[in-house]
């Protein structure tokens, strides 16, 4: 359908750059909004026990915040210099009541929130978010009825060991925040367990592996993907009138199930290994069938970081079956294996490695058709919407790449974290400069996934960030002792700032994980999901409405000067926040009838000095925290902006 010019999205792509309709190069610096959108409102967080019996009747209206709070939070994000939101929506939030359902109240609500975001000048892309499939399998995303539709009983997952679910594993009556039964960051291990593996295998390759497995007359893969895309279609239809909405993420960190794995051979060599139980598909199939399985376990040596054996662990000792009564295992029915007493016999070792007579190529056979289906779904409503594409982040680390066939105007929305910091929840001991040197090759490698692609694409780092409960929640202890100043977060500033230093050097965009409006300085609560705590805001830190920075955590790590829009092509940019200086190089293009815009945080830049080696006009609006620069000649130009020493007044100048 043809859209009126005034309704066109604010952001488009030009090769490996983001640009606006004036032709200015854009740097998109934003945040994920927000971490608690994974759970129902108001009491659906993992800090509250539940058996999920109400999964068809929940509501997500109020996530990421009640409408009455929208201007407070969105204004704060804009004040901090962010210009884009990765806005979290879940399949469950849209269609929790059953196949084909729509929560119209929720759709109304997100339109209202995004209208307010647009009023605050924030671009938005919609992230259909998931983690290890669903809340019922230890994560977030898909509705509970998806398990029921496939014949799985999610109430048996915990007892069988098919998924590690906080609400079943955590002792809410214990005063202990971190418990052996639910280790920190353990939720990700659910990707290897059978509840997840079955769902992801069916979602991406059910038609090839199990062609006779049907639901309501459709193959299981087609059923699941059609239902997922229908939820996305419902959101797209409701937000298509908003030019601030610039596109959709395909699916957050998609799992791969058993795709490409040998049926019973365990991975070998360091590249294929990760800590935890070393599941094979046959282990998962046997457990799902109701058999007890014994699985070797690897742990990471605290001294060397190397993986070592930690013996074996028995799962499903009570032999609980996770298939619902009367449901036959579709993988056994299609010849992958057969139960043999209390054991399992592999019948086709390459069952999950063959795709319609070919060797399975996950990119070509699974991801490319899925990306195409997402693009076709959303572009029915806005043909110019961007497709923010993701592949499985673990497979990326092992060398996987985006498929050769990608939709036009796609974005490399890969994710990156300092894994050691994320896993250990210890503040890095290295200096900021050393951290930046370590981070740079990793981020350069991710950027190349789009830059070097046959259809070149810009990178917007979809997620990066750090936990704020580092070092055993040291900042919390200081806060409880009465320290409310920003210094309690000093240990968090260096890794955040180092990541931004690298983004600046690469002229890359990114959305920080995350801003959770309901976050608490409590290790049990955090972002209200599986004890994660990466929010740059906490209501506990918010003590006054008079200070727009109040409530921030490690503000100096992420609120920093940068070029939002360039009148030409950016060549380099460097922010020295310790000296309150921003330098950048630009191939100026005066045919672009719009100025270069620079964000300068008020906490540092109350008055400025600007120097350049080419003619230009400039003006500074300190209340808007913005410099406008008009270049008058097509030429390379180097600009240096410094905070004016001792500046006590707002300075607005031209030169």
> How high does pLDDT run on average in the chain?
95
CA distance 594 to 391: 36
User: Is 115 within a domain?
Assistant: yes
Instruction: Give yes or no: residues 303 and 245 share one domain.
Output: no
Q: What is the pLDDT of residues 230-256, one digit of tens each?
A: 999 999 999 999 999 999 999 999 999
Instruction: Give yes or no: residues 440 and 419 share one domain.
Output: yes
Buried b (16+ CB within 10 A) or exposed e, 407-436: bebbbbbbbbbbeebeebbebbeeebeebb
CATH of the domain at 586: 2.60.40.1180
CATH of the domain at 528: 3.20.20.80
What pLDDT is stored for residue 453 in this prediction?
97
The conformational region for residue 98 under phi > 0 = left, psi -120 to 50 = alpha, else beta, is left
What pLDDT is stored for residue 272 in this prediction?
66
User: Is 491 within a domain?
Assistant: yes
Instruction: Give yes or no: residues 579 and 477 share one domain.
Output: no
* Residue 348, pLDDT above cutoff 60: yes
CA distance 626 to 217: 58
User: Is 159 within a domain?
Assistant: yes
Distances (CA, A) of 412 to 13, 18, 178: 11, 12, 35
For residue 407, give the nearest of 448, 450, 361 by alpha carbon.
450
User: Is 324 within a domain?
Assistant: yes
For 458-609, where are the alpha helices, taking DSSP H only?
A: 470-480, 490-506, 555-558
Instruction: Give yes or no: residues 38 and 108 share one domain.
Output: yes
What pLDDT is stored for residue 268 in this prediction?
77
Instruction: Give yes or no: residues 507 and 419 share one domain.
Output: yes
Domain boundary among 558, 575, 599: 558
What value does the mean pLDDT take over residues 191-208?
98
Q: What is the pLDDT of residues 256-287, one digit of tens each?
A: 999 999 999 998 766 667 889 999 999 999 99
Please state which of the ranges 358-367, 420-429, 439-448 shows the lowest mean pLDDT. 420-429
* Residue 648, pLDDT above cutoff 80: no
What value does the mean pLDDT take over residues 44-70?
97
Instruction: Give yes or no: residues 500 and 376 share one domain.
Output: yes
* Residue 650, pLDDT above cutoff 80: no
What pLDDT is stored for residue 565 in this prediction?
98
Say how far residue 328 (Cα) sits from the centre of its chain: 35
Q: Which has more confidence, 7 or 583?
A: 583
Domain boundary among 558, 579, 602: 558
Place of tokens 């109400």: 54
Instruction: Give yes or no: residues 133 and 226 share one domain.
Output: yes
What pLDDT is stored for residue 95 in this prediction?
98
Q: What is the pLDDT of residues 566-579, one digit of tens each?
A: 999 999 999 999 99
Instruction: Give yes or no: residues 285 and 384 share one domain.
Output: no
Asked whether 18 and 563 are in contact (CB, 8 A), the reply is: no
Q: What is the pLDDT of residues 507-532, one digit of tens each?
A: 999 999 999 999 999 999 999 999 99
Instruction: Give yes or no: residues 312 and 238 share one domain.
Output: no
User: Is 174 within a domain?
Assistant: no
What pLDDT is stored for residue 2 in this prediction?
37
What value does the mean pLDDT take over residues 484-491?
92
Q: What range defines the domain where residue 77 resides?
A: 5-163+192-257+359-558
Instruction: Give yes or no: residues 84 and 151 share one domain.
Output: yes
SS3 145: helix
* Residue 149, pLDDT above cutoff 60: yes
- Maximum C-alpha span of the chain: 85
Task: Give backbone dihedrals phi and psi of 248, rounded to 5 degrees, phi first.
Answer: -130, 140
User: Is 654 within a domain?
Assistant: no
Instruction: Give yes or no: residues 570 and 554 share one domain.
Output: no
What pLDDT is stored for residue 235 in this prediction?
98
Number of domains in the chain: 3
CA distance 507 to 393: 22
User: Is 168 within a domain?
Assistant: no
* Residue 545, pLDDT above cutoff 60: yes
Q: How confident is the model at residue 100 (pLDDT cuts 50, 70, 90)?
A: very high
Instruction: Give yes or no: residues 475 and 403 share one domain.
Output: yes
Six-digit token string for 78: 């804009």
What pLDDT is stored for residue 649 in this prediction?
36
* Residue 654, pLDDT above cutoff 70: no
User: Is 391 within a domain?
Assistant: yes
What pLDDT is stored for residue 4 in this prediction?
38
Six-digit token string for 117: 């975001």
């Amino acid at each position: 359908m043809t859209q009126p010019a005034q309704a066109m999205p604010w952001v488009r792509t030009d090769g490996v750059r983001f640009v606006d309709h004036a032709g200015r190069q854009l740097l998109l610096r934003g945040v994920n909004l927000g971490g608690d959108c994974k759970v129902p409102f108001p009491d659906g967080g993992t800090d509250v026990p539940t058996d999920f019996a109400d999964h068809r009747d929940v509501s997500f209206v109020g996530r990421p915040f009640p409408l009455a709070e929208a201007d407070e939070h969105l204004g704060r994000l804009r004040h901090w210099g962010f210009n884009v939101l990765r806005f979290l929506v879940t399949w469950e939030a849209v269609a929790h009541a059953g196949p084909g359902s729509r929560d119209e109240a929720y759709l109304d609500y997100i339109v209202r929130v995004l209208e307010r975001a647009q009023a605050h000048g924030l671009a938005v892309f919609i992230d259909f978010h998931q983690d290890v499939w669903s809340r019922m399998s230890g994560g977030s995303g898909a509705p509970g009825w998806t398990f029921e539709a496939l014949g799985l009983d999610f109430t048996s997952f915990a007892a069988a060991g098919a998924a590690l679910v906080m609400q079943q594993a955590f002792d809410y009556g214990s005063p202990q925040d971190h418990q052996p039964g639910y280790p920190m960051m353990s939720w990700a291990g659910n990707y290897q367990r059978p509840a997840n593996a079955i769902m992801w295998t069916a979602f991406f390759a059910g038609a090839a592996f199990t062609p006779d497995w049907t639901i309501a007359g459709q193959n299981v893969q087609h059923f699941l993907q059609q239902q997922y895309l229908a939820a996305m279609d419902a959101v797209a239809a409701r937000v298509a009138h908003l030019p601030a909405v610039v596109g959709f993420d395909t699916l957050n960190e998609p799992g791969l199930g058993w795709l490409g794995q040998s049926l019973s051979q365990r991975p070998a060599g360091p590249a294929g290994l990760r800590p935890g139980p070393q599941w094979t598909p046959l282990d998962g199939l046997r457990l799902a069938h109701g058999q007890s399985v014994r699985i070797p376990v690897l742990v990471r040596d605290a001294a060397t970081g190397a993986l070592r054996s930690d013996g074996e662990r028995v799962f499903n000792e009570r032999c609980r079956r996770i298939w619902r009564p009367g449901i036959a295992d579709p993988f056994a029915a299609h010849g992958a294996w057969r139960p043999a007493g209390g054991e399992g016999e592999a019948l086709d070792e390459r069952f999950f490695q063959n795709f319609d007579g070919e060797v399975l190529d996950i990119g070509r056979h699974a991801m490319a058709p899925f990306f195409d289906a997402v693009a076709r779904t959303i572009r029915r409503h806005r043909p110019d919407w961007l497709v923010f594409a993701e592949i499985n982040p673990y497979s990326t680390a092992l060398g996987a790449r985006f498929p050769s066939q990608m939709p036009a105007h796609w974005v490399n929305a890969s994710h990156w974290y300092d894994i050691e910091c994320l896993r250990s929840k210890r503040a890095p001991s290295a200096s900021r400069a050393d951290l930046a040197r370590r981070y740079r090759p990793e981020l350069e490698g991710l950027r190349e996934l789009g830059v070097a692609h046959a259809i070149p694409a810009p990178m917007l780092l979809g997620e990066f960030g750090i936990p704020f409960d580092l070092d055993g929640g040291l900042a919390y202890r200081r806060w409880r002792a009465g320290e409310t100043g920003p210094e309690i977060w000093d240990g968090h500033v260096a890794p955040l700032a180092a990541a931004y230093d690298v983004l600046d050097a690469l002229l890359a965009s990114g959305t920080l994980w995350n801003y959770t409006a309901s976050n608490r300085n409590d290790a049990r609560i955090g972002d209200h999901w599986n004890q994660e705590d990466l929010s740059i805001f906490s209501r506990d830190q918010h003590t006054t409405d008079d200070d727009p920075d109040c409530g921030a955590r490690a503000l100096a790590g992420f609120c920093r000067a940068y070029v939002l829009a360039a009148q030409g092509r950016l060549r380099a940019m460097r922010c020295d926040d310790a000296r309150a200086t921003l330098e950048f190089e630009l191939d100026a293009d005066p045919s672009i009838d719009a100025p270069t815009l620079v964000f300068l945080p008020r906490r540092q830049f109350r008055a400025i000095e600007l120097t350049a080696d080419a003619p230009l006009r400039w003006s500074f609006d300190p209340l808007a925290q913005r410099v406008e620069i008009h270049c008058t000649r097509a030429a390379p130009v180097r600009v240096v902006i410094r905070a004016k020493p001792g500046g006590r007044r707002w300075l607005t100048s031209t030169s």
